[in-house]
Amino acid sequence: MILAQFQTVGSDLFRRGLVSSHTGNMSIRLGDRIIITRRGSQLGNLKEQDLIETGLNKNDRNTPLASVELPAHRAIYQQTTALAVVHAHPPHAIALSMSETEIVPNGADIRAEVGRVPVLGGDMDTSPGGLEDVISAGLKDHHIVMICSHGSFAAGQLLEEAYKYTAFLEESSQVIWLVKTLDARRR
C-alpha cells in the first residue's frame, strides 16, 4: 500500500513535468521513522527498493541510500505536523523564483488552498541537503515553499496532499509566466 502511494504520486509528478528523470524526492513519516525515496531514484518509475526506511532523529545503515534532501525532510517532520513531504522542480515556479520573493497564485480557489508561496534562500547556498532550517521554518506557516532557483517543498498529511500543493503552484506559475510574457510583448 505504501509503495502504491509513492508510485502514484511519483508518476503524476513525472508526467506533469514537475520532476525530470532522476530529480525530486518524497517521504512520509511513520512515528520515529521516515520512508524516503532512494538517492537518484526515478520518481516516475519507483520500485520497492527505491523506498528507504531510516530514522527521523538519527542515522542508521540505510541512511546513506536516502535522498540527499534527507536533512530537509527530517527538519520538516521535526518542526511541523506534516506526515508527508514532496520536493519537486516545477520549471515555471523555479523561473519565477529567480526574480520574485513570493509567488501569489492567480486564481481565488488556488490562492485559498495554497496561499502566498514564499521564495526562500535567495541570498544563500541552495545546494541539496542545505537550508533545512529555513525550509522547515517556512513550512510552519505555509503548505509549500520555493527555494530560489532550485525547487519546491510541500508538506501535508498525505503524499497526495503535498502533490496537490505542488501541482497548484506550478499551474499558477504557468499562468503568471504567460501573463508576464504577453505583457512584455505589448511593450
3-class SS string, 37-63: EECCCCHHHCCHHHEEEEECCCCCCCH
Alpha helices in 107-158 (DSSP H): 108-114, 132-141
CA distance 74 to 35: 11
CA 33, chain centre distance (Å): 19
pLDDT value at position 57?
96
CA proximity to 86, closest of 167, 17, 32: 167
**In terms of residues, how long is the chain?**
187
pLDDT value at position 9?
98
CA distance 5 to 158: 9
pLDDT value at position 109?
79
pLDDT value at position 130?
63
CA distance 130 to 133: 8
In the chain, what are the domains? Answer: 2-186 (3.40.225.10)
What are the average pLDDT values for consecutive 10-residue runs of the chain, which has 187 residues? 97 97 96 97 97 97 96 97 98 96 85 89 69 95 96 98 97 92 77
Distances (CA, A) of 105 to 73, 120, 166, 174, 176: 25, 17, 12, 10, 8
CA distance 87 to 97: 15
